[in-house]
């Protein structure tokens, strides 16, 4: 059995760690320096006890998932992120795919009689798919199924769309929101710090640009998620910097729902020589994120990337959401070497997975309203 938080506070001899544990007990925010200390000095059981204490205080035994499907309009991309296994440069576009609006609507229609609540639209940045194309797509999806929540477009796609259309971020977000876009996914964040960003994804939106787009969406009352691509060439200080930028913005807007750490996978990309992180590091990272991001209500493990068993394990290290039932229309991870080559799970399988980890599965909608409790 794991020790309790009180036991850790009484028995930890490392004064810095003891103070952090006390702060967690007192619901006090930890500093950036303390976050760095956790990365450098906390072992997995220590971080796990603190994170699980917070997780259970916030959510008890509840573990959320939703019923969603993905549409990936294209994998043609004008950018060339070194870690990306998915995109095809525009010059090689014959090897990629580009879906027409009708083809994407056909995908939506295949779910007509299924109790899906969300469509997640995200893909490469195609030079010919402009904002008007996506406005038409969003409007047609809404006309076909008004209750379907549209969560779509990373800040990378939005930045490119707005610049091409010569719109400010505020104007562009408003137009898409008016068309029916309701939330933003968390992709494209990678690592905000310029020292790392310039090495892994130099040519796409900057860290500040990503944050500005999410801030503008929050100003319109939209919610969004935030990701962090970890476990490659970054150092602990870059992880702390990344999460501190998110915590500061969240203090201002309260618009983020979920933080989603994404484990770097090294197959079929220009960073294949970089070793992947260990499962111990993965769990420690989830735990430290849960401890540091005190103003993020939810922490999500994206199981198609982490694998099902590791996603189960993460439920003891701060995670309270394991994403949705995903159709195999999402290829970003199977192409990057995830063991989940067909990332699809039925609701029954997902419920079983959560129950096996001794948690209570709760189906939620995109905004975390509870739809079904599976006792």
* Site for ligand SF4, rule CB under 6 A: 77, 79-81, 84, 86-87, 124-125, 156, 201, 204
d(CA 363, CA 221): 23
The residue written with tokens 């960003």 in the block is: 197
DSSP 20-63: HHHHHHTTPPPPHHHHHHHHHH--HHHHHHHHHHHHHHHHTTEE
Q: Please pick, from the candidates 72, 190, 321, 363, the single residue that binds ligand V47 as defined by CB under 6 A.
A: 190
Q: Binding to ligand V47 by residue 259, rule CB under 6 A? A: no
Q: Binding to ligand V47 by residue 124, rule CB under 6 A? A: no
Task: Specify whether the CB–CB gap between 48 and 166 falls below 8 A.
Answer: no
Q: Please pick, from the candidates 117, 225, 316, 325, the single residue that binds ligand V47 as defined by CB under 6 A.
A: 225
Q: Binding to ligand V47 by residue 227, rule CB under 6 A? A: yes
Q: Binding to ligand V47 by residue 135, rule CB under 6 A? A: no
Q: Binding to ligand V47 by residue 84, rule CB under 6 A? A: yes
Q: Are strands 149-152 and 118-121 parallel, antiparallel or unpaired?
A: parallel
Report in angstroms how near the CB of residue 153 gets to ligand V47 at its nearest.
11
Q: Binding to ligand V47 by residue 188, rule CB under 6 A? A: yes
Q: Which residues, 6 or more positions from 174, have their beta carbon under 8 angstroms from its beta carbon? A: 220
Binding partner at 265 among ligand V47, ligand SF4, none, C-beta below 5 to 8 Å by kind: ligand V47
Q: Please pick, from the candidates 99, 262, 289, 354, the single residue that binds ligand V47 as defined by CB under 6 A.
A: 262
Q: What is the DSSP letter of 93?
A: G
d(CA 43, CA 40): 9
Q: Give 207-213 contacts, CB < 8 A, sequence gap 24+.
A: 207/242, 207/245, 209/155, 209/159, 210/155, 210/156, 210/159, 211/245, 211/249, 212/169, 213/155, 213/158, 213/159, 213/169, 213/173, 213/184
Binding region for ligand V47 (CB under 6 A) out of 50-58, 127-135, 186-194, 344-352: 186-194
Report in angstroms how near the CB of residue 5 gets to ligand V47 at its nearest.
30
Report in angstroms how near the CB of residue 223 gets to ligand SF4 at its nearest.
22
Coarse DSSP helix, strand, coil percentages of the chain, rounded to the nearest 5 percent: 45, 15, 40
d(CA 156, CA 242): 17
Binding partner at 225 among ligand V47, ligand SF4, none, C-beta below 5 to 8 Å by kind: ligand V47
For the chain, where are the alpha helices, taking DSSP H only?
5-11, 15-25, 32-41, 44-59, 101-109, 131-144, 155-164, 169-179, 194-200, 207-219, 236-253, 279-292, 303-306, 308-314, 347-356
Q: Binding to ligand V47 by residue 264, rule CB under 6 A? A: yes
Q: Please pick, from the candidates 73, 187, 255, 261, the single residue that binds ligand V47 as defined by CB under 6 A.
A: 187
Phi, psi of 340 (to 5 degrees): -85, 85
Task: Specify whether the CB–CB gap between 75 and 88 falls below 8 A.
Answer: yes
Binding partner at 302 among ligand SF4, ligand V47, none, C-beta below 5 to 8 Å by kind: ligand V47
User: x/- binding map, residues 336-375, to ligand V47, per CB under 6 A?
Assistant: x---------------------------------------
Q: Binding to ligand V47 by residue 152, rule CB under 6 A? A: no
Q: Is 358 helix (H, G, I), strand (E, B) or coil?
A: coil
Report in angstroms how near the CB of residue 148 gets to ligand V47 at its nearest.
15
Cβ distance to ligand SF4 smaller for residue 156 or 350: 156
Q: Binding to ligand V47 by residue 192, rule CB under 6 A? A: no
Q: Please pick, from the candidates 124, 172, 180, 186, the single residue that binds ligand V47 as defined by CB under 6 A.
A: 186
Cβ distance to ligand V47 smaller for residue 34 or 281: 281
Catalog residues that contact ligand V47 under the rule CB under 6 A.
83-85, 154, 185-188, 190, 225, 227, 229, 260, 262, 264-265, 269, 302, 305, 323, 332, 336
């Amino acid at each position: 059995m794991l020790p309790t938080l009180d036991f850790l506070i009484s028995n930890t001899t490392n004064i810095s760690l003891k103070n952090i544990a006390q702060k967690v007990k007192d619901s006090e925010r930890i500093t950036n320096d303390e976050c760095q200390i956790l990365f450098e000095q906390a072992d997995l059981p220590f971080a796990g006890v603190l994170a699980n204490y917070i997780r259970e205080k916030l959510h008890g035994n509840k573990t959320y998932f939703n019923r969603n499907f993905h549409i990936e309009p294209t994998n043609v991309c004008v950018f060339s992120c070194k870690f990306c296994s998915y995109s095809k440069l525009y010059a090689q576009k014959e090897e990629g795919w580009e879906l027409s609006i009708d083809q994407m609507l056909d995908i939506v229609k295949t779910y007509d009689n299924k109790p899906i609540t969300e469509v997640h639209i995200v893909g490469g940045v195609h030079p010919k798919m402009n904002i008007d194309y996506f406005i038409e797509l969003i409007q047609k999806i809404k006309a076909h199924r008004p209750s379907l929540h549209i969560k779509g477009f990373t800040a990378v796609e939005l930045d490119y769309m707005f610049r091409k259309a010569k719109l400010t971020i505020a104007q562009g977000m408003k137009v898409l929101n008016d068309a029916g876009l309701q939330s933003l996914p968390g992709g494209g964040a990678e690592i905000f710090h310029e020292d790392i960003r310039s090495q892994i994804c130099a040519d796409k939106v900057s860290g500040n640009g990503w944050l500005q787009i999410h801030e503008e969406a929050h100003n319109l009352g939209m919610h969004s998620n935030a990701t962090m691509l970890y476990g490659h060439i970054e150092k602990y200080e870059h992880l702390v910097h990344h999460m501190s930028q998110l915590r500061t913005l969240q203090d201002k807007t309260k618009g983020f729902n979920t933080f989603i750490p994404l484990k770097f996978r090294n197959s079929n990309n220009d960073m294949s020589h970089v070793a992947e992180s260990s499962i111990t590091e993965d769990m420690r990272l989830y735990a430290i994120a849960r401890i540091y991001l005190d103003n993020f209500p939810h922490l999500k493990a994206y199981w198609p990337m982490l694998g099902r068993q590791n996603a189960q394990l993460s439920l003891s290290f701060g995670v309270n959401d394991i994403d949705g039932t995903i159709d195999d229309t999402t290829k970003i991870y199977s192409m990057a070497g995830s063991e989940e080559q067909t990332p699809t799970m039925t609701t029954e399988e997902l419920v079983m997975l959560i129950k096996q980890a001794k948690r209570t599965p709760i189906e939620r909608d995109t905004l975390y309203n509870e739809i079904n409790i599976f006792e």
